[in-house]
Amino acid sequence: MISPFIAGMIADRFFASEKVLAAFHIAGAFLLYGASLQTKFAPLYALLLAYCLLYMPTIAISNSLSFRNMTDPGTQFSTVRVLGTFGWIVAGNVIGFLKVEPTPVPLRIAAAASVVLGLFCFLLPHTPPVATGKKTTVRDVFGLDALKLLSDKSFAIFAISSLLICIPLQFYFAFGNPFLNDYGVQNAAGKMTMGQMSELFCMLLIPWCFKRLGVKYMLIVGMFAWVVRYALFAMGNAGPLAWMLYAGILLHGICYDFFFVTGQIYVDKRAGESIRSAAQGFITFLTYGVGMFIGAWLSGAAVDFYTTNVGGVLNHNWRAIWMVPSLASGVVLLIFALLFHEPGARDNRTTETVPANAES
């Protein structure tokens, strides 16, 4: 929750973005390898937490670096981001093929990949800090300059909706795989990569949809897909209604791309050049930080509430469990649809850049 702010400030003021990325990924590799050697929970957790403090900021910095080196992020970003989705698919299938889930091997593979990625970052376009030489204040350290974007009502609604929608999202990340395994779905981890495969396809649709739908309606479509996905999980089963489970997995492409990727493009348009990294870090803080933190606790509480222990055997009422995030996503969708409005020609249904001054 805190590291994206500090890392964004570092990339904006002190070091070139590609060097920050390289340093974080290479240092993270050592932490991952150290974690793979642990046999006790406390040191394992500490090392993974330290790794996350380095890794999570790289999402925002990578976005900022990409946007700064693109002439038209609205149409170009998706063609770059789609390769990240391909990486998810490769990683999931490699681990599944090797059958090493209950071993330290995945952490060691990740450590090796982190070294390779860190070295590759030195080959990225040179992206120097845009606010170098400026006096650094406490406000800069915590990226508080990005908070001025909240003075714009539309951005504030977007930010709040982004936080809230990540609460039900955590139900899928935390319990999607246990749910499928509980229902007896074979090779559940492999089948869940269908979601990333659909993400590949949807990512390529973003430029076309961005021009025709605009920011608001793309975000609405993304949130509505979450409502439908969780409802499908609630109603499906591993028998005659198995198609509902697979449909829910396949909706991941629309759920993620139409909301998160569109949101990243929107943030880039609203933020000024001097706070671009900080603004991306702010949204990362709200979504992957606060939203998923709250979601982790609430999803666990909901699962516990709808789980019974009969003779030492846990029985989950998955229908009731999945209706919780479905209804929650529906409430967020309604709030966003009613309150969000982005000024501009045809609700931003073009790729023209929104004025950087969010207060204009």
Question: Residue written as tokens 């409502």?
Answer: 227
Going by C-alpha positions, the residue among 180, 172, 215 that lies closest to residue 350 is 215
- Count other Cβ atoms within 10 Å, centred on residue 160: 17
Per-residue model confidence (pLDDT) at position 26: 97
Contact predicate 160/331, CB 8 Å: no
- Count other Cβ atoms within 10 Å, centred on residue 307: 14
Per-residue tokens: 60: 């925002």
Per-residue model confidence (pLDDT) at position 355: 38
Contact predicate 224/333, CB 8 Å: yes
Per-residue tokens: 280: 């991306």
3/62 Cα distance (integer angstroms): 14
Going by C-alpha positions, the residue among 178, 197, 199, 198 that lies closest to residue 189 is 178
Per-residue model confidence (pLDDT) at position 206: 79
Residues sharing a CB contact under 8 Å with residue 3, sequence separation 6 or more, in sequence order: 52, 53, 54, 56, 57
Break the chain into its structural domains and give their ranges. Answer: 3-124+141-343
Q: Mind listing the pLDDT tens digit of every residue in the chain (360 residues)?
A: 777 666 666 766 678 889 999 999 999 999 999 999 999 999 999 999 999 989 988 887 888 888 888 888 777 877 887 788 788 888 878 887 887 877 899 999 999 999 999 999 999 999 887 766 566 565 655 556 778 888 888 889 999 999 999 999 899 988 988 898 888 887 777 788 888 888 878 877 877 887 788 888 889 999 999 999 999 999 988 888 989 999 999 998 888 888 888 888 888 788 777 677 678 778 878 888 899 999 999 999 999 999 998 877 889 999 999 999 999 999 999 999 999 987 654 444 444 433 333 333
In the beta sheet, which residues pair with residue 280? none
Read off the pTM.
0.72
48/32 Cα distance (integer angstroms): 7
Residues sharing a CB contact under 8 Å with residue 89, sequence separation 6 or more, in sequence order: 193, 196, 197, 200
Question: Residue written as tokens 């982005």?
Answer: 342
Per-residue model confidence (pLDDT) at position 275: 74
CATH 1.10.340.30 fits domain 3-124+141-343: no
Per-residue model confidence (pLDDT) at position 132: 61
154/158 Cα distance (integer angstroms): 6
Going by C-alpha positions, the residue among 58, 57, 80, 56 that lies closest to residue 67 is 80
Per-residue model confidence (pLDDT) at position 188: 76
